[in-house]
Amino acid sequence: MPKSRLRQLANFIRVFGRRDGIRLWSSLFFQYSILSRQLLRVRLPKSAAPMLLRSQDLPIFWQIMIMREYDLRSFAQMKRVMATYKEILSEGKKPIIVDCGGHVGLSAIWFATQFPEATVYVVEPDISNFRVSQCNIRLYANIIPLHGGVWSHPCRLMISNPKAGSASFRLQEAPDCSKLCEPDALCGYTIEKISEFGDARRLFVVKIDIEGAEAELFEGPTQWLHFAALVLIELHDWLLPWQGTSRNFFRKLAENDFDVVFRGENLFLFRP
């Protein structure tokens, strides 16, 4: 978020209009700066319920809800994405959106609002983030939370840097996968498995922000790339220099037919 209060307010007004923009910005500013609350409540216009945000969640709120980095309507390729959405529904199937690295549910809410007849599976490994996301999505019937991570194969996972910031947790495979079914196990889901949950479902959109675990995700089978109409991914070579976390992704990208567009921190892959 910009430090300038005026720039913040101007962007709120640009997105929500004068009345709602001033109301939302004033509410956040009063709770955070005046009351010094650590847990903030904000209700967007036409939203199903107020959202809970910790102070450390504000940058992600800014990216998704104010800067609208996932709003792709200005791209010509979105016409094809919307046509695919309508095609899936016309076949009597349910479009599936898989949100890998869901944090506190803001991206899931965005997708659930933009595609109200889709089912959004939001996967988040950190229990603190997961509990906040459960509060935020509780009134969205089309969002299903999964406590775990995405991986190239089913396994048991663990957070390798538990003292990192709330948006920076990284995963690694646990040494003993025989404990997969224990109550405290952190499940490693494949995207194929998630897209198969339920009947009459079809993969539609996949969003990936998993702090370098894209190296493992794209090391395994990626048949799901043939079905997704849109893939959104943030790469993390900047976070993990010289570890080549994006190499497997680019290998798989070269094997598929996508239009690739850059916006903000993300690559957007549109399937023709």
pLDDT in tens, 53-101: 998 999 999 999 999 999 999 999 999 999 999 999 999 999 999 999 9
pLDDT at 133 exceeding the cut of 90: yes
Give the domain range for residue 207: 78-270
Residues 32 and 119 in one domain: no
Which of 149, 59, 168 lies closest to 99, judged by CA?
149
pLDDT at 182 exceeding the cut of 80: no
Residues 51 and 167 in one domain: no
**The pLDDT of residue 178:** 53
Domain count, the chain: 2
Q: Which residues pair with 95 in a beta bridge?
A: 202
Domain of residue 189, CATH code: 3.40.50.150
Model-level pTM greater than 0.85? yes
**Residue 230 half-sphere exposure toward CB, CA atoms < 13 A:** 27
Length, in residues, of the chain: 272
Q: Scanning the structure block, which residue is given the tokens 């046509």?
A: 83
In a domain, 180, yes or no: yes
In a domain, 71, yes or no: no
pLDDT, one tens digit per residue, over 146-161 is 999 999 999 999 888 8
**The pLDDT of residue 185:** 67
Residues 221 and 189 in one domain: yes
- Which of 66, 96, 119 is a domain's end point? 66
Residues 46 and 101 in one domain: no
- Which of 33, 66, 99 is a domain's end point? 66
Residues 227 and 256 in one domain: yes
Residues 144 and 95 in one domain: yes
- Residue 207 DSSP SS3: strand
In a domain, 73, yes or no: no
For the chain, the average pLDDT equals: 91
Residues 153 and 31 in one domain: no
Lowest mean pLDDT among 78-92, 120-134, 193-207, 255-269: 193-207
Residues 224 and 147 in one domain: yes
What single DSSP character describes residue 67? S
